[in-house]
Amino acid sequence: MVSIVLASHGKFAEGIKESGQMIFGPQENVQAVVLTPDMGPDDMHKKLLDAIATFDDQDHVLFLVDLWGGTPFNQVSRIIEEEKHEDWVAITGLNLPMLVSAYGSRMGADTAVDVMKEIFPEAKGGIKVKPEALEPAGDAAPAAPVAVAPTASAIPEGTVLGDGHIKYAYVRIDTRLLHGQVATAWTKQISPDRILVVSDGVSHDDLRKNMIIEAAPPGVHVHVIPIDKLIEVDKDPRFGATKAMVLFETPQDLLRAEEGGVKFDSVCIGSMAHSVGKTVVNQAIACDEDDVKTLKAIRDNGTNFYVQKVPSDHADDIWALLKAKDMA
């Protein structure tokens, strides 16, 4: 796997490393190297070499640096010239879209150059303006995706695509629905062609709907739909070639979908937010008696659960977690 050095003035590299882990989970072979006011160029040079020496793979190293021409970049450039490794490459303008894209890209890339080529446009595309109308002329980002209901109206009714059954590649319960961890880490892991955000409340709330759509990953259609619409889509053979990621806000919403005939083999519990009356189960999940009752009803329908925030986390057993809190 390609190793990554984050290099910056001040504590920026350390902070963005922590931010990246919040979205993508803990990462191996990633080092943050910072230039502090008491350091000179040679000190930075040594810290960079020390960081590289910790990597399992020192042949493929990607340097993500804050600023072209600054001391961190100059010392990275010096090292690249001195060491003359064929696959050591640096990019400046370090931002969070660049970092999380690098984490995802290196999972399937053989070289640092391959990762660089993939993350470069995403890093540039991460610079956007809100309201969009204020985007400087000539530099406008691609138009934001529009929230629409999945439709097969262009395909004659009765047409069967694939085996006639929509593919649920990944189903998740998450209070936050579509957010950074889902839009980056899980989307890269699953590679769906549609994300279905299923919520009666959100589908009728234009503000929340638009916020979710703005979080959509590039190249993936996002649809915010009520539960009845999912039940309808599930029975429509025109969606037989669709590979979907499905997001529910609560287990109660998921149970309603199953009661309408939708069947899921397995469901990931990503987060269930704490509120008054709920018991904290772990850092991401809080439940009350109704939540546990609902989860048991879904389990009795033949659906398996696992708890996992990001792909790099270990998958935990929800029932073991609940039992530890005397709630199972």
If one counts every other C-beta atom within 10 angstroms of the C-beta of residue 102, the result is 28
Sign of CA dihedral 271, 272, 276, 282: negative
Q: Hey, what amino acid is at 233?
A: V
85, 165, 179, 221: the catalytic one is 179
Residue 247, φ and ψ in degrees, nearest 5: -120, 125
Q: Is 314 one of the annotated active-site residues of the chain?
A: no
Q: Is 9 one of the annotated active-site residues of the chain?
A: yes
9, 45, 60, 223: the catalytic one is 9
**Which are the contacts of 133, defined by CB distance < 8 A and separation ≥ 6?**
none
DSSP-assigned letters across all residues of 124-173:
HHT---SSGGGSPTT-PPPPPP-------TTS-TT---TTSS-EEEEEEE
Catalytic residues: 9, 179
